[in-house]
């Protein structure tokens, strides 16, 4: 698979800022995922070719980190923080509410492909727990009502 010129330029830019191809791998995977929504086997192979790394090494990194999707993810990705401060403030209930509302289990995508639900480590918003990240937007001081309104705005 050949990446588009714009993506190739971003990758070149990342490579130029890193001392080794290996150290550029995670940021490169990030921009590829941003472009396609997930990391297909073909795109991982292309990354391996560009960075001159073994395809298995690229795949190992992509499958190790939960932030990378090696299967198609939903149009929106909801990350619920499950670390201590959020856990103490009821993150478990928020996650359970999301599972019920979206009719899925954590790690799954809604049938219509609109939302993927994931658990996250600390989102650096402990003082305003519980928190969740929806795509690039942080939502804090969550309540079930607040979650409903956020999710409804995504699937309207």
Contact 116, 78 (CB under 8 A): yes
Q: Which of 21, 35, 83, 114 binds ligand FES (CB under 6 A)?
A: 83
- Site membership for ligand FES, residue 142 (CB under 6 A): no
- Site membership for ligand FES, residue 123 (CB under 6 A): yes
Those residues with Cβ within 8 angstroms of residue 21's Cβ, 6 or more apart along the chain or in another chain: 15, 51, 52, 53
* Burial bucket for residue 32 (CB in 10 Å: 0-12, 13-18, 19+): buried
Q: Which of 84, 92, 100, 141 binds ligand FES (CB under 6 A)?
A: 84
- Site membership for ligand FES, residue 122 (CB under 6 A): yes
- Shortest Cβ distance from residue 84 to ligand FES (Å)? 6
Phi, psi dihedrals of residue 67, rounded to the nearest 5°: -70, -15
Q: Which residues bind ligand FES (CB under 6 A)?
A: 81, 83-86, 122-126, 129, 131
């Amino acid at each position: 698979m050949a990446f588009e010129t714009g993506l190739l330029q971003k990758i070149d830019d990342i490579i130029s800022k890193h001392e080794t191809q290996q150290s550029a791998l995670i940021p490169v995977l990030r921009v590829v995922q941003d472009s396609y929504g997930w990391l297909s086997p073909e795109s991982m192979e292309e990354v391996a070719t560009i960075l001159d790394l073994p395809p298995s090494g690229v795949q190992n990194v992509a499958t190790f980190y939960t932030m990378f999707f090696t299967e198609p993810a939903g149009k929106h990705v909801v990350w619920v923080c499950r670390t201590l401060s959020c856990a103490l403030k009821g993150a478990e209930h928020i996650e359970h509410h999301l599972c019920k509302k979206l009719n899925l289990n954590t790690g799954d995508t809604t049938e219509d492909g609109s939302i993927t639900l994931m658990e996250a480590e600390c989102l650096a918003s402990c003082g305003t727990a519980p928190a969740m990240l929806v795509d690039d937007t942080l939502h804090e001081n969550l309540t079930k009502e607040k979650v409903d309104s956020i999710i409804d705005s995504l699937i309207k």
